[in-house]
Structure 1
Amino acid sequence: MPQPSNPSPERAARGDGKNIPVEDTHAAAGETQPPAGTTDPGNDSNPSSGADAAAAPIDPQGSASAQAAQVIEDAEAVLDGVVIEPSIDEQVAKAKAEAAEWQDKYLRLHAEWDTYRRRTAEQREAEKARATEKLVESLLPVIDDFERTIDYAEKNGEGGLLDGVKAVHSKLVATLVKDGVQVIDPKGEAFDALEAQAVATVEDASVPDETVADVYQKGYKMGSKCLRPAMVTVTSGGPKREKPQENAAK
């Protein structure tokens, strides 16, 4: 059985052959170093990059640029939340523009109201005229009978009857005229085909052509509408009648 060898005095003095416990410096270093110095086994980056970055010198110009950019960003963020009040001139200009806009709206509304009121009044007048037209048309034969009675009384000397009939006739015609009825009695005037109907012609050289000689039956109209044209006789053989355009030109 081999015997353990005894170290020589020189080796003993140097410590050769002794088991000296060694501290785990790597574990201690891992506990004292910051996390930025640790290495990730799954990361392919250089383990010494953290230490190199920490040891790298700081660029003063880059730091100043970063600080300036941060200041500008903070200022913009502050300005975004600040409401800038307009100046007095801008406020006055804005108020004038709003006043002009409201004035324009008022004028337009006023014009539309005037147009509506005028049209409504015209419609009421037209409806009133249409309501009266039918009544007047039904009364026209009564007026004709009155006029024939007056003509008979005048020719046969019925003085008492004539005065009474004339009074009733005048009162009836006056009532219709008051409601807008116009009597068409164009004797001695130029013939108007819109308001008169020629039933015969008579020779008369003393007056211009197309002059109404006699009225057999009067006509009536309301406003611009002719309810019934007058029945007349028209002259012929006289000088030509000048047209209204020629008279206006002269």
Structure 2
Amino acid sequence: MNTDRQDPQPIEESEEKKTSKKKVNNKVELSKEKSTQEEIYKKIEEEKDKFLRLFAEFENYKKRTQKERLDLFKTAHREVMVALIPVLDDFGRGMSEIKKSKDENLIRGIELIQEKFFRILKEQGLQEIKTQKGDDFNTDIHDAITQIPAPSKELQGKVVEIVESGYNLRDKVIRHAKVIVAK
């Protein structure tokens, strides 16, 4: 007997086993690849979500800073305007005293300076709050410094005297009108 010769049947079985093992290995590898692929897709989705959130936050930040910058430009000179209002009041008081003088040139010169000063402030957005005697008292624009008994029923809750004018700067009250109210 020749021992060098091998039986062909075991060779076929071993090839079948190899093929079977290859298929199993391929399936395992495919399932590993699928799970790895799914993990990658999950990570991509997470990163995409993070990116979208970050992008949205950045857009909101840009809008907010732009709005803040515009508000700052609109009210940057607010403090200067508030500081100049007493000067405007002084002009008014000075004019009432100067009008007692007989010098028409002096009166006209001071009036021109006052008008120019008020025009410049108006160009910068300052407006006087129009308040008259007999107007209803409004806490949004008036500051009642005192109350007096109403001389008549119709004057109750009305402005009877204006002590200081109020001013708006671009539709925001920067000084309430100081008034005396009838109760």
**TM-score over 0.5 for the alignment?**
yes
Spell out the pairing of 1:165-184 with structure 2 (5 A cutoff): 165-184=110-129
Residue 6 of structure 2 corresponds to residue 70 of structure 1: no
1:122-166 CA-to-partner distances (Å, cap 9, x unmatched) read 322443456423222322222112111222344556544333323
AA in 2 matched with 1:123: E
Give the distance between the partners of 1:206 and 1:164, measured in 2 at CA.
Answer: 44
Higher Rg: 1
Q: Is the 8 A contact 2:150 2:156 kept in 1?
A: no
AA in 1 matched with 2:65: T
- Identity, in percent, stands at 20
- For 1:16, the equivalent position in structure 2 comes to none
- For 2:66, the equivalent position in structure 1 comes to 121
TM-score, normalised to structure 1's length? Answer: 0.47
Give the distance between the partners of 2:58 and 2:140, measured in 1 at CA.
Answer: 36
Instruction: Tell me the CA shift for residue 232 of structure 1.
Output: 1.3
**Which secondary structure does the structure 2 equivalent of 1:192 belong to?**
coil
- For 1:189, the equivalent position in structure 2 comes to 135
Pick the aligned partner of 1:137 from 82, 98, 110: 82
**Which secondary structure does the structure 1 equivalent of 2:22 belong to?**
helix
Give the distance between the partners of 2:115 and 2:66, measured in 1 at CA.
Answer: 31
Spell out the pairing of 1:1-250 with structure 2 (5 A cutoff): 68-77=16-25, 105=52, 109=55, 112-113=58-59, 115-128=60-73, 131-154=76-99, 159-187=104-132, 188-200=134-146, 201=148, 203-205=150-152, 207=154, 209-223=156-170, 226-236=173-183
**Which secondary structure does the structure 2 equivalent of 1:183 belong to?**
strand
Change (3 A) 1:196 1:72: same
TM-score, normalised to structure 2's length? Answer: 0.60
1:86-125 CA-to-partner distances (Å, cap 9, x unmatched) read xxxxxxxx9xxx9xx79x94x9836842x33332233224
Quick one: higher RCO (CA 8 Å, sep 6+), 1 or 2?
Answer: 2
The structure carrying a bigger helix percent of its residues is 2
Change (3 A) 1:78 1:127: closer
Give 5+ residue unaligned stretches, structure 2.
31-40
Give the distance between the partners of 1:217 and 1:155, measured in 2 at CA.
Answer: 21
